């Protein structure tokens, strides 16, 4: 049983979350708390495996509480926040403070049923995640110089998929890429609005241009497109030009956006011109798609277990036979560049 503590100032939300979570036989809600002070005492008393945490609460905001918790008693924390642009910025701040996942509260565009399915999956992932004590803030990332000219169509397309722990992993990968890196497409399991805040944050830090994808965006060197939350992103090709399609559709591998949807489209339209990478995350989203990419001639990479927050998606991709290289996170950016360069050399020869 995974023992969960629900922290939210709304009695209705606490009751709803507890009821929905306990529908799963693997989860036990051991308690609820209306604010961080009550939560602190219940954490000491009940020793939960996972905490769900609202951001805006009385007496102490959720991010301040999270920072204290990650210093004194680190444990997996999932942010359950409102679906808004402001909520996205705060949730991103919480992820940087040590939260492992973000889920939207139910609303007009997000039903209780949708939320409960996603939250249960994320609780199970969080219970298996590696959590480290935060003794001080992460070191600042130096802003790199961005390339100004992005007019040439790329020959190589990079596709990356990630879930639990992926926001930090993607930041480390993208901040290591030079301004002229191959055009890159990313699916990170993250709710609507949160992906915009995430892309904006990365754009401030990276030499490449990072944006939330819009339907019809071109894939060109120096540009990274992140699939918007609640929308699938696919690669399309028109002559020599690559572009993305952003659209609704059913959940795939219980996700929208889905890594499999992206990878399978890249296998079809880019083939041997592509590089695929699958990073930390729970479940099997991306495993079948990465195998299709490899079968189509793409070069493929998986993050190794030691550097993953959750070694789920990479493990499934390796088991499916879709991975050429298994590497620690800090070696993946250079491997992407090396594979892209080796392909260009082969084409030239």
Contact in structure between 94 and 62 (CB atoms under 8 Å): yes
Q: Describe the crossing of helices 85-97 and 194-205 by its angle, rounded to 10 degrees.
A: 60
Q: In angstroms, how far is CA 316 from the centroid of its own chain?
A: 17
Q: Is 35 a catalytic residue?
A: no
Q: Which of 308, 315, 243 is nearest to 286 (CA)?
A: 315
Contact in structure between 187 and 257 (CB atoms under 8 Å): yes
| Long-range contacts of residues 107-112, Cβ cutoff 8 Å, at least 24 apart | 107/82, 107/83, 109/83, 109/192, 109/230, 110/83, 110/191, 112/16, 112/20
Q: Is 238 a catalytic residue?
A: no
Could you tell me the CA-to-CA distances from 33 to 58, 67, 155, 169, 309 in Å, in that order? 12, 18, 53, 31, 27
Q: For residue 192, what are its two tokens?
A: 């609507």
Residue of 82, 129, 163, 265 marked active site: 163
Q: Is 189 a catalytic residue?
A: yes
Residue of 8, 54, 121, 285 marked active site: 285
Strands of the sheet containing 27-33, edge to edge, are 27-33, 2-7, 50-53, 77-81, 101-104
Angstrom distance (rounded) from CA 239 to CA 294: 23
- Tell me which DSSP letter residue 183 carries: E
CA dihedral in degrees (336, 213, 117, 57; nearest 10)?
110
Angstrom distance (rounded) from CA 21 to CA 249: 26
Q: Among all chains, which residue has been given the structure tokens 């990630």?
A: 162
Angstrom distance (rounded) from CA 344 to CA 349: 9
Residue of 189, 193, 232, 255 marked active site: 189
Give the residue numbers marked as catalytic.
163, 189, 285
């Amino acid at each position: 049983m995974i023992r969960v503590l629900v922290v939210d100032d709304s009695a209705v939300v606490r009751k709803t979350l507890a009821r929905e979570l306990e529908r799963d036989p693997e989860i036990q809600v051991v308690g609820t708390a209306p604010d961080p002070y009550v939560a602190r005492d219940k954490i000491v008393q009940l020793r939960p495996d996972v905490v769900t945490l609202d951001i805006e609460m009385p007496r102490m905001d959720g991010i301040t509480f999270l920072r204290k918790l990650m210093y004194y008693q680190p444990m997996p924390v999932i942010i359950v926040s409102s679906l808004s642009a402001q909520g996205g910025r705060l949730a991103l701040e919480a992820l940087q403070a040590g939260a492992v996942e973000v889920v939207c509260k139910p609303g007009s565009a997000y039903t209780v049923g949708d939320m409960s399915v996603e939250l249960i999956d994320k609780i199970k992932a969080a219970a298996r995640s590696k959590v480290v004590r935060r003794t001080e803030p992460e070191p600042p990332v130096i802003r790199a110089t961005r390339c100004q000219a992005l007019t040439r169509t790329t020959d190589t397309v990079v596709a990356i998929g990630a879930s639990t722990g992926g926001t930090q992993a993607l930041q480390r990968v993208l901040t290591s890429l030079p301004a002229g890196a191959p055009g890159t497409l990313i699916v990170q399991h993250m709710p609507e609005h949160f992906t915009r805040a995430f892309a904006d944050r990365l754009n401030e830090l990276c030499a490449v241009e990072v944006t939330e994808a819009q339907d019809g965006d071109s894939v060109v060197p120096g540009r990274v497109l992140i699939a918007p939350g609640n929308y699938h992103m696919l690669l399309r090709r028109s002559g020599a030009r690559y572009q993305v399609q952003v659209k609704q559709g059913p959940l795939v591998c219980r996700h929208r956006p889905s890594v499999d949807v992206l990878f399978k489209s890249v296998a079809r339209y880019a083939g041997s011109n592509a590089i695929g990478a699958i990073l930390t995350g729970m479940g099997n989203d991306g495993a079948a798609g990465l195998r299709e990419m490899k079968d189509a001639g793409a070069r493929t990479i998986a993050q190794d277990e030691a550097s993953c927050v959750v070694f789920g998606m990479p493990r499934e991709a390796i088991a499916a036979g879709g991975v050429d290289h298994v590497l620690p996170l800090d070696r993946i950016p250079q491997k992407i560049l090396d594979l892209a360069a080796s392909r260009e050399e082969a084409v030239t020869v």
